[in-house]
Amino acid sequence: MTLRLPAPVLLAILVAVTALLISLGIWQLQRNDWKNDLVEERNARIDAAPLTFEDASTRDPESIDYYRLADRGDWDHDRSFILANRARFQTKGEELVTPLLIAPDGPAVLVNRGWYPDGQRDEVRSDLAQRPGTLEGLISIHTGSARQTGAGTWTAIDPEAMAAGLPYDLLPWIVIEGDQVESTANPDGELPVQRYTAFANTTPHMEYALTWFGLAAALLAVAAIRFRPGRSGD
């Protein structure tokens, strides 16, 4: 038995679905505009003069996200954290995260000191221990959570969780040490790899919008054929 909907009901469904598809396309256009504004805002922050710890401490944490920081402190190398299973450049590796003490008794900020391939941990830690307590990098507001594995490594950076094993307070944000680069291609040079790139809109909102609009247009074409005057069976 074939269910045949009355023409007015079918037309109402087609109109409702078409309106929904068009609204989804408009929403994607709005998301694209919002993301482009965010790109412009964050990259303007990167281009601004770097902050110091004193500058950053007087501002709300959200307002310093994506600013550069240039200052100095004392590295607590012995209490560094290892982020394991960090694949970069088609190679499995790790990232080293070290607290930088702003004052002798804290607080400190967690600094991602860079990536290196598996097997290079001891060499990288030894090399970094010889470098002065100066810091240049990008401030990042941490929003995720992480845990310590059975091997003692960590799944990600989490100031709140990592602070539990430290004798001083941690700031609620982190710093990615290094300089801005244009490309994420495999680098040549010393380890660890210390870098960050400009913020970019990587979500294809325009393609999504065109997809929704295309589906709406196709549905309208189907409706035009189905309800054209003189169509047999109507």
At 165-190, the pLDDT tens digits run: 899 999 999 999 999 988 766 667 78
- pTM equals 0.84
Longest Cα pair distance anywhere in the chain, in angstroms?
87
Same domain flag for 46 and 86? no
Confidence of residue 226 (pLDDT cuts 50, 70, 90): confident
CA distances from 4 to 1, 7, 185, 197, 233 (A): 9, 9, 59, 57, 12
Residues 81 and 176 in one domain: yes
Phi, psi of 113 (to 5 degrees): -90, 0
Q: Are residues 191 and 222 in the same domain?
A: no
Q: How far is CA 92 from CA 89, 131, 145, 148, 213, in A?
A: 8, 25, 22, 19, 42
Assess whether 17 and 128 both reside in one domain: no
User: Is residue 56, in this structure, part of any structural domain at all?
Assistant: no
Is 58 part of a structural domain of the chain?
no
Is 7 part of a structural domain of the chain?
Answer: yes
Residue 46 lies in a domain: yes
Q: Is the same domain home to 206 and 124? A: no
Residue 222 and residue 111 share a domain: no
Q: What is the pLDDT of residues 70-85, one digit of tens each?
A: 999 999 999 999 999 9
Percent of the chain, pLDDT > 90? 70
Which pLDDT does position 170 carry in this prediction? 94
Number of domains composing the chain = 2
Residue 124 lies in a domain: yes
Mean of all residue pLDDT scores within the chain:
90
Compute the Cα dihedral for 9, 15, 18, 23 and give only its sign.
negative
Domain that holds residue 167: 67-197
| Between 97 and 6, residue with greater pLDDT | 97
Domain assignment present for residue 60? The answer is no
Give the β-pairing of 134-141 and 195-197. Answer: unpaired
192 and 106, same domain (yes or no): yes
Task: For residue 125, give every residue at least 6 positions away whose Cβ sits within 8 Å of its Cβ, in sequence order, or none.
Answer: 77, 80, 96
**12-40 average pLDDT score:** 94
pLDDT at position 145 is 87
* The pLDDT value given to residue 232: 53
Residues 78, 133 within the same domain: yes
Q: Is 154 within 8 Å of 147 (Cβ atoms)? A: yes
Higher pLDDT, 133 or 5: 133
Indicate whether 219 belongs to any domain. Answer: yes
Instruction: Tell whether 13 and 106 lie within a shared domain.
Output: no
Q: Which residue has the tokens 């002798």?
A: 104
Residues 85 and 159 placed together within one structural domain of the fold: yes
In a domain, 57, yes or no: no
- On whether both 81 and 159 belong to a single domain, the answer is yes
Instruction: Encode pLDDT of 82-137 as tens digits.
Output: 999 999 888 999 999 999 999 999 899 999 999 999 999 999 999 999 999 999 99
pLDDT band, very low/low/confident/very high, at 52 (cuts 50, 70, 90):
very high
- Are residue 134 and residue 178 in the same domain, yes or no? yes
Q: What is the 3-state secondary structure (H, E, C) of the chain?
A: CCCCCCHHHHHHHHHHHHHHHHHHHHHHHHHHHHHHHHHHHHHHHHHCCCECHHHHHCCCHHHHCCCEEEEECEECHHHCEEECCCCECCECEEEEEEEEECCCCCCEEEEEEEEEECCCHHHHHHHHHCCCCEEEEEEEECCCCCCECCCCCECCCCHHHHHHHCCCCEEEEEEEECEEECCCCCCCCCCCECEEECCCCCCCHHHHHHHHHHHHHHHHHHHHHHCCCCCCCC
